[in-house]
Amino acid sequence: MTVLIRLGLGLGLGFVVLAPIVVGFVYEKSFDLNTLLNVFVLSMIWMGFCGVFSSLLNYMLPRKRAVAGEVVDDDSDNTGTSSIKKHRISTSGAGTETTVNNNNSDISLGNISGDDNHSGGGGSEVELQIMALGDGNPPDIDEDLHSRQLAVYGRETMRRLFASNVLVSGLQGLGAEIAKNLILAGVKSVTLHDEGTVELWDMSSNFIFSENDVGKNRALASVQKLQELNNAVVISTLTTKLTTEHLSDFQAVVFTDTSFEKAIEFNDYCHSHQPPIAFIKAEVRGLFGSVFCDFGPEFTVFDVDGEEPHTGIIASVSNDNPALVSCVDDERLEFQDGDLVVFSEVHGMTELNDGKPRKIKNARPYSFTLEEDTTNFGTYEKGGIVTQVKQPKVLNFKPLREALSDPGDFLLSDFSKFDRPPLLHLAFQALDRFISELKRFPVAGSEEDAQKLISICSSINESMGDGKLEDINPKLLRHFAFGARAVLNPMAAMFGGIVGQEVVKACSGKFHPLFQFFYFDSVESLPAEAPDSSDFKPLNSRYDAQISVFGSKLQKKLEDAVVFMVGSGALGCEFLKNVALMGVSCGNQGKLTITDDDVIEKSNLSRQFLFRDWNIGQAKSTVAASAAQTINPRLHVEALQNRVGPETENVFDDAFWENLSVVINALDNVNARLYVDQRCLYFQKPLLESGTLGAKCNTQMVIPHLTENYGASRDPPEKQAPMCTVHSFPHNIDHCLTWARSEFEGLLEKTPAEVNAFLSNPTEYASAMRNAGDAQARDNLERVLECLERERCETFQDCITWARLRFEDYFVNRVKQLIFTFPEDAATSTGAPFWSAPKRFPRPLQFSAADPGHLYFVMAASILRAETFGIPVPDWAKHPKKLVEAVDKVIVPEFQPQTNVKIETDEKATSLSTASIDDAAVINELIAKIEQSQKSLPPGFRMKPIQFEKDDDTNYHMDLIAGLANMRARNYSIPEVDKLKAKFIAGRIIPAIATSTAMATGLVCLELYKVLDGGHKLEDYRNTFANLALPLFSMAEPVPPKVVKHRDMRWTVWDRWIIKDNPTLRELLQWLREKGLNAYSISCGSCLLYNSMFPRHRERMEKKVVDLAQEVAKVELPAYRRHIDVVVACEDDEDNDIDIPQISIYFR
């Protein structure tokens, strides 16, 4: 399209200029040979002008991701063209294809795959497979937008996605969810196929449709909102009957609402196509779902789990057959028997450094055996890295025709239902036959239809011969029949995540595909008390599909629920969409409160799907709540921007918590989760918890009195590298990046902030430093003095000088000092080599302006240094030649290592600063120097501290951090990383993708039915851990809380004892004695109100407990507080300690 626009504008403008002149020549009376020559010359000028102008337009017009092919514009409008804001929609034929192209790119409607080769021909099978994955000319990746997804997939997988064309057939709830996830992932194109029209029934599961869309074609009604998710994806529609000829243009096709007969036809075509087309059939029927995958006769998985290759640092290798390899005990090895590994950097036994993969066995936490004879190899001396080699895996898929009768092993999700998948395999076939015979779905609540489906299932089972099931579970099949027509939103969200991920696998070869059938049910979500058949009747409402499964009574409970949702990021957006479609908090009594103190950033848009690019900078909760009300205008939602914590308990007060039905966490940090968990524990409210990490997700149900709370079990803290390792002895790039981030913050944020603290109030600052009088205060003052005196910058040349000398200090002088203090042959106090694994002996760098890494470090450092001093950055600073000239002016002094320098080697040390007996004197001297240097500063001088911002690629923050880390890596011969990988590590980016988020929220909302219904038992609830990369689904009952028993009483962490009427201390002690408990200590917060060992405490007996809390513990009691909490330590009559619940004393 861009080509045509450029050409049209060039020709048009040329015609406007040339036409009057040509006409003048034509009407000239003396129209001779000279006239013809003049016309010819002008024509040549015209053509040249057109070419130049259209070339200029190449740079003037907006550019987006390139897509191969060429636009075919057809203004015919046989099916009606809707005018949609921001998008151009053209329809051609009798409602056959519609393309939305918001790319200003070249797109082929006839052959949407562009120059991908689908016809087979020459080339090896591997080449064909890669072509099938859509590996064409790699388009640019918008790293700001896709940074979290890149952290999961990597560039190569993203490039393959960007070249992949996908068909999604069936745009009910499941199809919409799959399409959403694929568009967010950034495939090249998605074609939406649906011949049906929008019904009110669809409103229970499809977030795209509004009630105004009823009667419109589903595919056409979906285009606008789906296109808004990602303008770089081409979205087309097919609204007529699908044929096999349509399928050849795609790398993957997904069917969500098709018969087995048609599915077999389409699958046979895809399976035999060259290269094969990935085929997925997925269905959601009420609380039951299924997925079938066929990616062809030979599908290559390039990376089966998506994890980084495991590595180990070698400590020794024996000269044996087989050889024993031992590694340092710095970290446990993650190798498994049969893994292939390669060796590098081995000294002595250099034969291992040949790069040849070697198989290992007898894998242990810190050693393994090598299947190789090393008897005649050189003797191992030192060093060496062993790295896992990830091997491609070839899978042989069976077509659906064969797999139906020979399904192989089913992928299990819940081991308490190990016999369920074979039964559901029959049930879905029976439903297909039911629909084929009666031309409709079973009616919800119809026993006759249920019996008909059971009969068909029994018939199929009888025909299976040796594979016949002993029990077809009529009760389960009855539930299956009742809800067969309904597509429930939580099920669509869950399966939309699973299927979306399978499409990504099919298009990229990244992660292990689902092989080949997966069945799932959540019948436990049904009401604890079975509804009457009349309760399933439709009410002509948007919730009719949901009512057909759960009945109208549960629907009313959903609508009247009072919900608190904490967070409106990726999880929060999905949750809001889900609850809006379910009708939660949409009744007169219902209300949903959502809070998030964050604002929208560009990187959010690839998975937080309620946000658009025009929302960047706006409050997340406000935008998300507004978008959710667009999905369901009946949603009663209040959006707040408060962080949930002790500081906002005046906002989220007792009355707020006591009125809640349920709390849904959509948080991204453990501390906030723990606080909300404690609040839910205190007020005895259900908490639905979930989280994601790349392709992994987990859900945890916290149900009052039934389950343990979130904080009852925690993951161990992440292992932190010792400070001495990070600062002097790094042995991996993570150490280098940790050091680089620390230096960045010290130089550009903390030190300028210290300078400003001094300049704002010199007297107070000096007094604070003198009072501290420690090594930290001394270090702070030394940095302030450096900034204001020795390293103060007044011009940009000063900043370049500072940056160049920093390079010398970091990567030359410090290394020279280190290897002077600890030479290569240095030994420890025990005589062992000092530079033994995991330590790596460093080498100083030699600065060279010809080295791009060196020069770019100086450029980034000088620009940021100038920013802290408020110095304008000249244009030439980013011009390499002129920058080199400026760097060459810097005089670098000679460095001589010192003999009395102490370098920390103790791994337990927590600070590099060492205290000295003369710290106080040094501090006074430094303060005097700083006060003197202040006099030379211009009036009102302040520095500008720079806070690290990882997601702005124009601010040079990551450029400097990557430069610091990579130069340090060169010192220690550690492999360097690019800026993107540096951003992941230094920016502590949590990998995130839309698919795992969608699955997690779908699973949680299946539990939400149970919570709001009430009456469910522990065994009805499910906690889940899933890894879509493997794929792995592990569901289990939650763990019950620990029970404490005393006399005839029982309590758990969920119990809170309440005493009203504002008791005195004596009355509280008596109340406990009546329970057989002798209190010997009562505390409020961190203060002791009573202890039986202290005689003076007996004087407090007649005082109100609340008065003691105010007097002793200095507790403030704002108007919204009605009680205080005390912790009581008790013994029974046998002097055994009894752990009792927290006691709340109400005084109002």
Active-site amino acid positions? 724
CA distance 864 to 956: 7
Q: What is the DSSP letter of 1048?
A: T
Q: What is the DSSP letter of 872?
A: P
CA distance 180 to 168: 11
Contact call for residues 322 and 371 (beta carbons, < 8 A): yes
Of 1068, 1073, 1142, the residue nearest 1107 (C-alpha): 1068
DSSP string, 1126-1137: EEEEEE-TT--E
CA distance 293 to 513: 8
DSSP string, 195-220: -SB--GGGGGT-SS--GGGTTSBHHH
Question: Residue 407 corresponds to which tokens in the numbers above?
Answer: 């399904």
Contact call for residues 865 and 803 (beta carbons, < 8 A): yes
**Residue 236: in which H helix or E strand, if any?**
strand 234-238
CA distance 598 to 596: 6
Q: What is the DSSP letter of 536?
A: G
- In Å, what is the CA distance from 958 to each residue of 19, 752, 799, 969, 983? 55, 19, 18, 16, 6
Strands 367-370 and 1087-1091: unpaired
Kindly provide the b/e burial profile for residues 1083-1094, where b requires at least 16 CB atoms within 10 angstroms of the residue's own CB. Answer: bbeeeebbeeee
- In Å, what is the CA distance from 530 to each residue of 536, 582, 1013? 11, 20, 11
Question: Residue 697 corresponds to which tokens in the numbers above?
Answer: 């997700």
Contact call for residues 573 and 184 (beta carbons, < 8 A): no
Of 735, 721, 729, the residue nearest 840 (C-alpha): 729
- In Å, what is the CA distance from 963 to each residue of 251, 327, 509? 40, 30, 33
Residue 901 gets the label, from left (phi > 0), alpha (psi -120 to 50) or beta, of: beta
Question: Residue 96 corresponds to which tokens in the numbers above?
Answer: 């056959």
| Helix 155-162 × helix 489-508 angle, to 10° | 100
Of 175, 207, 206, 186, the residue nearest 280 (C-alpha): 175
Q: Across 676-805, where does the E strand assignment appear?
A: 687-693, 696-702
Secondary-structure breakdown of the chain: helix, strand, coil percentages, each rounded to the nearest 5: 45, 15, 40
Residue type, 443: V
On the CB side of 139, how many CA atoms lie within 13 Å of its CA? 22
CA distance 245 to 253: 13
Q: Give the largest CA-CA distance in the chain.
A: 130
Of 668, 671, 666, 706, the residue nearest 689 (C-alpha): 666
Respond yes or no on whether the N-terminal peptide bond of residue 251 is cis (omega within 30° of 0): no
Residue 338 gets the label, from left (phi > 0), alpha (psi -120 to 50) or beta, of: left
Of 930, 894, 891, the residue nearest 792 (C-alpha): 930
Contact call for residues 748 and 868 (beta carbons, < 8 A): yes
CA distance 116 to 992: 29
Contact call for residues 233 and 187 (beta carbons, < 8 A): yes
